[in-house]
Chains A and B, each alone.
Chain A
């Protein structure tokens, strides 16, 4: 096969992998928007905070140590232990659930029946608060996240595909971390689907998503559902934080991954879990192929972010609710 064709396939495969990572971030937005109509601006910061907490717990870092040292003149930083990744993840999940409870207790409960824009503004405030809180709690330095996930291109795939092309083709490059991310995303989506279809809480969540008033009238607790959905979104944020943090280290720019989720949401729809996945894949493949075929050769490169939003805007023109989103019809 011609090398150029094989390179295009390689770009497409890597685009799919990148799309999975985008979808992981978008999923958190969808879960909250679907159940409460809130666009959670803080979702990127949740991923950051979850990853910071995971590394902090794993490495035995003393929370607020900088603050404690500044006030009391001490020099404490670490407890001196190292916790196994699985236990650290479980503890981080508990922290994210606690965070969901606090968000419901101190923010959402007081904003019931407020316009959507007020709730959106509240999440902006939450984002800034969480970023500062995370900084105070765990410090600003870049942290290495190592929970044993594989990194680097797969030798096996490279060696077993090199024969497809000529001497300039070295086999397909696929990052093993991306493969893990794809598997984790598939498990996550399957688990979320099973949860929403076959559990009492999942059905309650769907009922609230369909009609708040009707759900309340049959005895479903709105507060419980909000805690539940924010906790799930927190866990999804943890997964996204682990995958992205493994690539770049855990640092405050991790919150910017939310920028990658926006075109995915516009394309896939704000209310659809499959939409987030399909949207992520389309954006991932689309931006990478555009960069490969047009961006880099003719436009000087770095067109991916631009193309992702242009693609999303095009979809908005023809399908404002996104590919899988619910069509909103308001009767007057």
Chain B
């Protein structure tokens, strides 16, 4: 009997061995609930890129990739449960895809030595690697977004925002309030009037907010929304005939989902992006050939080339590059989460790497260091063309005003370090 049990145990270990050796990139997705329309394309893109690497290249450095998916429904508690359930599977990096979940994972990730990549969301001051050892928010954060948005309006206004009025229309929560300190500071420096108008969750009714905008007639409106809030805001802006050239959303308010319901009224609406748009990149032909046509797509295969699908692809590309960096640094194809964290801290994304991955010019070039977990803070402006039903970038990737953003990041991260008694790193 003992022999049988021992044989079974050895068999189980042997069966599990290849699984343990896989490179594991958990996907904390939300394919159900009120935010599913945004969660599905991202999850599809994230998974499909890794499937492509498995099918075309045999994984990364010869190691197969596994993408266990866990449904969070964009709910913080469920997201933390997903993290706890998947961290033991050899997870190399978590992408929470939610600011709420990210905040919960900040202390946990350090304790478990598993890095978190909150790409374009989460805690902005996590850019300061001297304080946040396991959280990365490259290539850009919300404060960079606010700065790049204001710079665009400044250029649009002929080089000065003196005497202009900018309104921030935002989700009434942590995510939506993130840019307020930056915009307040920018208002002092640039000489524009700034006010913030919050919208309560879920944001299906925004009549009060848009009547206020109609009364106050701001020159420009910046928008931090998510979910149904986006579609309603764009529709209401069209209803009051607000000049869409002067209305710009953050990257979470700039997908096809957000503008198509408003029809022709959405024409000209702008949104910040930290990656390129459309499907005119070699990688998408490969995804079609090796993943979609092969019947291995994570979803229906109908999201390829949409803004949020591209974002999922980009997130997976950055994770794969970090894994390859870790393999090169350790000389071992099988890497740990600790190796991954170290590699993320030494990540360099250049044009050659993007081109080799079939993504030439897809995002900004940047480097990550021990001190700087946020990359170069670059974003571009995209604009919606209702006639062709497509987004296009109307600017190059440009950097935020670091003289404004960096001191705010230092102050906020220092407060966090003091509050949590964290020693300074990177010395």
Contacts and interface: CB of A to CB of B under 8 A. Distances in A.
Interface of A: 7, 10-11, 14-15, 17-18, 21, 66, 69, 73, 75, 77, 131-132, 135, 139-142, 144-146, 151-153, 168, 170, 173, 175, 244, 247-249, 251-257, 259-260, 287-288, 291-292, 295-296, 300-302, 304-306
B208 A252 contact: no
Contacts of B302: 77
Given A144-B261, A251-B37, A305 B240 contact: no
A253 B204 contact: yes
14 contacts: A77-B300, A140-B31, A140-B32, A144-B260, A151-B265, A152-B241, A173-B214, A248-B232, A249-B231, A251-B37, A252-B34, A253-B227, A254-B204, A301-B209
B330 interface: no
* 10 tightest A-B CB contacts, nearest first: A249-B261, A253-B34, A302-B198, A253-B228, A140-B36, A302-B172, A302-B200, A291-B208, A248-B231, A152-B239
B107 interface: no
B207 interface: yes
Contact of B37 (A141, A151, A170): A141
Contacts of A173: 211, 214, 239-240
A21 B35 CA distance: 23
Nearest to A153: B239
Nearest to A17: B207
Interface residues of B, number: 42
Contacts of B261: 142, 144-145, 248-249
Summarize A's interface: helix, strand, loop or mixed: helix
A248 B230 CA distance: 9
Given A77-B302, A140-B37, A7 B200 contact: no
Nearest to B31: A140
A170 B242 CA distance: 13
B191 interface: no
Nearest to B300: A66
Contacts of B239: 151-153, 173, 175
Given A142-B261, A151-B239, A306-B200, 4 more contacts: A132-B32, A251-B228, A296-B208, A301-B209
B238 interface: yes
B150 interface: no
Contacts of B198: 300-302
A168 B241 CA distance: 16
B263 interface: yes
Q: Choose among A249, A257, A300 the residue with the greatest number of B CB atoms under 10 Å from its CB.
A: A249
Contacts of A151: 235, 238-239, 265
A302 B31 CA distance: 28
B199 interface: yes
B231 to A, nearest CB: 5
A134 to B, nearest CB: 11
A140 B239 CA distance: 26
A249 to B, nearest CB: 3
Contacts of B204: 244, 247-248, 253-254, 256-257, 260
Interface in B30-44: 31-37, 40
B215 interface: yes
B163 interface: no
A18 B206 CA distance: 10
B205 interface: yes
